[in-house]
Chain A
Amino acid sequence: MSLPLDPLLFSIAAPLAVALAIALGLPKRWSVRLAYVGFGVPLLLALHVGWHFGAEPKVAGYAFLHTYSTGLQGLGIALKLGVNGIAMPLFVLAGVVGFAAGLYAIQSGAERLKVYLMLLLVMQAGLMGIFASVDVFFFYFFHELALIPTFIMVGVWGGRDRTYAAMKLTVYLTAGAMFSLLGLIAIYVKSGAHSFDLIALRSALAAQPLPLLVQKHLFGLLLLGFGILVSLWPFHTWAPLGYGAAPSSTAMLHAGVLKKFGLYGLIQLALPLLPSGAAPWSHGLALLAVFGNVLVIGLVTMAQRDLKQMVGYSSVMHMGFAFLGLATATTLGIGGVVFLMVAHGLSVSLLFMLSTCVHHRTRTFSLDEMGGLARKAPVLAGFFTAAIFASVGLPGFGNFWGELTIFVALWHYSPAIAALAACGIVISAIYGLRAAARVCFGEPTEAFARVAEQTPPADLSWTERLPAIVLLAALLVIGLWPKSIARPINAAFAEYPAAEERSS
Chain B
Amino acid sequence: MMTPAHIAFAVLTLPLASAAFTAFFLRRRGRTAAAVSVGVAGLVTAGALYLAFRGGRFEITKEWFSLGSLTVCFGFQFDDLAALMLVIVGIVGFCVHVFSLGYMSDDAAKGRYFGGLSIFLFSMIGIVLADNLFMIFVFWELVGFSSWLLINHWHERPSASAAAKKAFIVNRVGDLGFLLGIAMCFWTRGTINLSDLAVQTSSGHAAYSRAIPLLLFCGAVGKSAQLPLQVWLPDAMEGPTPVSALIHAATMVAAGIYMLCRIQVLMVPEALTVIMWVGVATALYAALCAVVQRDIKKVLAYSTLSQLGYMVAAFGLGSTEAIDETGRIVLVAAGVGAAMFHLTTHAFFKALLFLGSGSVIHACHHEQDIFRMGGLAGRMRLTFVTFTIGVAAIAGMPFLAGFFSKDAILALAYENNRAAFSVLVLTAVLTAFYMVRVWKLVFLGEPRSDAVIRAHEGPFSIRFSLVVLAALAVVGGYYRSYPRAFSGVITLIPEAPEPVHRIVLAASLAVLVLGAGAALAFYRCDEEDTLRVRAPGLFKALLALNLAFDRSYDYYIEKIQQRFAMLLNFVDRLGIAGLVRAVGEAVGVVGLGAQALQTGRLSAYVYWFLAGLVILWAFATGLL
Residues of A within 8 A of B157 (CB): 442
The interface size of chain A toward B, counting residues with CB under 8 Å, comes to 84
Closest to B608 in A: A174
Q: Tell me the complex Cα distance, A237–B619, Å.
A: 32
Stretch at the interface among A53-61, A200-208, A269-277, A331-339: A331-339
B155 lies within 8 A of A144 (CB): no
Which residue from B66, B138, B569, B612 sits with its C-beta under 8 Å from A300?
Answer: B569
Q: Please give, as numbers and ranges, the residues of chain A lying within 8 Å of B57 by CB-CB distance.
A: none
A188 near B597: Cβ-Cβ < 8 Å: no
Q: B377 to chain A: closest CB distance in Å? A: 38
Q: Is the CB of B64 within 8 A of A482?
A: yes
Q: B25: CB under 8 A from chain A?
A: no
In whole Å, how far is A488's beta carbon from the nearest beta carbon of chain B?
A: 11
- Chain B CB within 10 Å — which of A152, A395, A404, A426 has the most? A395
Once the chains bind, are B565 and A303 in contact (CB under 8 Å)? yes
- Across the interface, do B155 and A171 meet the contact criterion of CB distance under 8 Å? no
Is the CB–CB distance between B606 and A148 below 8 Å?
yes
B179:A429 contact, CB within 8 angstroms:
no
**Distance from B97 Cβ to chain A, minimum over Cβ atoms (Å):** 22
Q: B180 at interface (Cβ–Cβ under 8 A)?
A: yes
Is A443 located at the chain interface by the 8 A CB criterion?
A: yes
B68 touching A330, Cβ below 8 Å: yes
Chain A 451-504 residues near chain B, CB threshold 8 A? 482-483, 486-487, 489-490, 493, 498, 501
Q: Check B605–A148 contact: CB distance below 8 A.
A: yes
**A172-B584, A489-B67 as given contacts; A422 in contact with B155, CB under 8 Å:** no
Is the CB–CB distance between B565 and A299 below 8 Å? Answer: yes
CB-based contact A490/B606 at 8 Å: no
CB-CB < 8 A to B587: which residues of A? 175
A172 to B605, CA, bound (A): 13
The chain B residue sitting closest to A178, CB to CB, is B589
Q: Is A113 an interface residue (CB 8 A)?
A: no
Q: Let me know if B169 and A425 touch, CB within 8 A.
A: no
Q: Are A422 and B156 in contact (CB under 8 A)?
A: no
Q: How far is the CB of B322 from chain A (nearest CB, A)?
A: 32
Given contacts A175-B587, A400-B141, contact A299 B568 (CB under 8 A): yes
Interface string of A63-88 (1 = CB under 8 A from B): 00000000000011100000000000
CB distance B64 to A442 under 8 Å? Answer: no
Verify if B3 is at the interface (C-beta below 8 Å from A). Answer: no
Asked if B180 and A441 make an inter-chain contact with CB atoms under 8 angstroms apart, the answer reads: no
> A148-B605, A189-B619, A332-B70 are known contacts. Are A443 and B158 too (CB-CB below 8 A)?
yes
In the bound assembly, the distance between CA atoms of A411 and B568 in angstroms comes to: 27
- When A170-B594, A426-B176 are in contact, do A303 and B68 touch as well, CB less than 8 Å? no
Among candidates A302, A330, A441, residue contacting B156 with C-beta atoms closer than 8 Å: A441
Contact A304 B612 (CB under 8 A): no
Closest CB-CB distance, B580 to chain A, in whole Å? 6
Q: Is B597 a contact of A335 with CB atoms below 8 Å?
A: no
Q: Is the CB of A170 within 8 A of B605?
A: yes
User: Which residues of B sit under 8 angstroms from A443, Cβ to Cβ?
Assistant: 156, 158
| Interface window among A41-49, A210-218, A343-351, A412-420 | A412-420
Name the B residues within 8 Å of A155 (CB-CB): 602
A185 to B623, CA, bound (A): 13
A486 touches B605 (CB 8 A): no
- A117 and B357 alpha carbons, distance in the complex (Å): 60
Q: How far is the CB of A249 from chain B (nearest CB, A)?
A: 19
B565 touches A302 (CB 8 A): yes
Check if B162 is an interface residue, CB within 8 A of chain A: yes
Question: Are the C-beta atoms of A433 and B597 separated by less than 8 Å?
Answer: no
Which residues does chain A contribute within 8 Å of B155, judged by CB atoms?
374-375, 440-442
Q: Report yes or no: A490 in contact with B593, Cβ–Cβ below 8 A.
A: no
Verify if B60 is at the interface (C-beta below 8 Å from A).
no
- The residues of A that contact B615 with a CB separation of less than 8 Å are 185
Report B166 CB to chain A, min CB distance, Å: 9
Assess whether B590 is in contact with A174, with CB atoms less than 8 Å apart.
yes
CB of B69 within 8 Å of the partner chain: yes
Q: Is B152 an interface residue (CB 8 A)?
A: yes
Q: B557's closest neighbor in chain A, by CB?
A: A430
Taking a contact as CB atoms under 8 Å apart, the answer to whether A422 and B68 are in contact is no
In the complex, how many angstroms separate the beta carbon of B163 from the nearest chain A beta carbon? Answer: 10
Report how far A433 CA is from B579 CA in the complex, Å: 33
- Interface residues in A161-205 by Cβ distance below 8 A to B read 166-168, 170-172, 174-175, 178, 181, 185, 188-189
Tell me if A23 is interfacial: C-beta within 8 Å of chain B: no
Does B539 belong to the interface (CB within 8 Å)? no
Distance in Å: Cβ of A402 to nearest Cβ of chain B = 10
* Complex contact A166–B597 (CB within 8 A): yes
Partner of A335 from B68, B161, B173, B565 at Cβ < 8 Å: B68
Task: Indicate which residue in B156, B169, B182 contacts A426 across the interface (CB closer than 8 Å).
Answer: B169
Residue A401 interfacial (CB < 8 Å): yes
B594 touching A429, Cβ below 8 Å? no
Contact between B597 and A237, CB atoms less than 8 A apart:
no
CB distance from A100 to the nearest CB of B (A): 19
- Say how far B118's CB is from chain A's closest CB, in angstroms: 14
Q: Which of B33-41, B183-191, B333-341, B529-537 contacts A (4 or more CB under 8 A)?
A: B183-191
User: With A and B bound together, what is the CA distance between A427 and B162 in angstroms?
Assistant: 16
Bound: A186/B592 CA distance, A? 23
Q: A75-B620, A433-B168 are contacts. A442–B568 as well, Cβ < 8 Å?
A: no
B617 proximity list for chain A (CB < 8 A): 75
- Are B68 and A171 in contact, with the CB atoms below 8 A? no
B69 touches A151 (CB 8 A): no
Q: Does A235 contact B (CB under 8 A)?
A: yes
| Residues on A with beta carbons closer than 8 Å to the beta carbon of B448 | none
Inter-chain contacts of B160 with A (CB < 8 A): 441
Which residue in A300, A372, A425 is a CB contact (below 8 Å) of B565? A300
Name the residue in B134, B156, B621 with the highest tally of chain A Cβ atoms < 10 Å from its Cβ.
B156
Closest to A296 in B: B568
> In the complex, are the beta carbons of A486 and B152 less than 8 A apart?
no
Q: Which of A300, A374, A425 contacts B179 (CB 8 A)?
A: A425
Whether A284 is near chain B, meaning CB under 8 Å from some CB there, is no
A359 within 8 A of B: no
Complex CA distance for A178 and B616, rounded to whole angstroms: 11
Q: Let me know if B576 and A237 touch, CB within 8 A.
A: yes
The smallest C-beta distance from B191 to any residue of chain A, in angstroms, reads 13
* Of listed A144, A333, A501, residue having the most chain B CB within 10 A: A144
Contact residue among B187, B572, B594, B598 (Cβ-Cβ distance under 8 Å from A412): B187
Interface pair B606/A331, CB less than 8 Å apart: no
Using CB atoms, name the residue of chain A closest to B126: A395
Give the residue of A185, A429, A442 whose beta carbon is less than 8 angstroms from that of B169: A429
Once the chains are docked, how many angstroms separate the CA of A200 from the CA of B577? 41
B65 touches A (CB below 8 Å):
yes
Within 8 A of B (CB), among A380-413: 382, 389, 393-396, 400-401, 404-405, 407-412
Is B105 positioned at the interface, with any CB of A under 8 Å from its CB? no
A415 contacts B172, C-beta separation under 8 Å: no
Verify if A434 is at the interface (C-beta below 8 Å from B): yes
Q: A486 and B176: CB pair below 8 A?
A: no
Chain B residues with CB under 8 Å of A441's CB are: 152, 155-156, 158, 160-161
User: Which residues of A are at the interface with B, using a C-beta cutoff of 8 A?
Assistant: 75-77, 137, 144, 148, 151-152, 155, 166-168, 170-172, 174-175, 178, 181, 185, 188-189, 234-235, 237, 296-297, 299-300, 302-304, 330-333, 335-336, 339, 372, 374-375, 378, 382, 389, 393-396, 400-401, 404-405, 407-412, 415, 418-419, 422-423, 425-426, 429-430, 433-434, 437, 440-443, 482-483, 486-487, 489-490, 493, 498, 501
- Cross-chain pairs A/B with CB under 8 angstroms, 17 sampled: A75-B621, A172-B584, A174-B605, A178-B589, A185-B615, A299-B564, A303-B562, A331-B67, A331-B68, A400-B141, A404-B179, A418-B183, A423-B176, A425-B176, A437-B165, A441-B155, A442-B156
Chain B residues in contact with chain A, CB under 8 A? 23, 27, 64-70, 72, 134, 137-139, 141-142, 145, 148, 152, 155-158, 160-162, 164-165, 168-169, 172-173, 175-176, 179-180, 182-184, 186-187, 561-562, 564-566, 568-569, 572, 576-577, 579-581, 584, 587, 589-590, 593-594, 597-598, 602, 605-606, 608-609, 612, 615-617, 619-621
Q: In the A-B complex, list the 9 residue pairs whose CB atoms are closest, starting with the nearest.
A: A331-B68, A332-B68, A411-B183, A441-B161, A303-B569, A482-B65, A303-B565, A441-B155, A395-B138
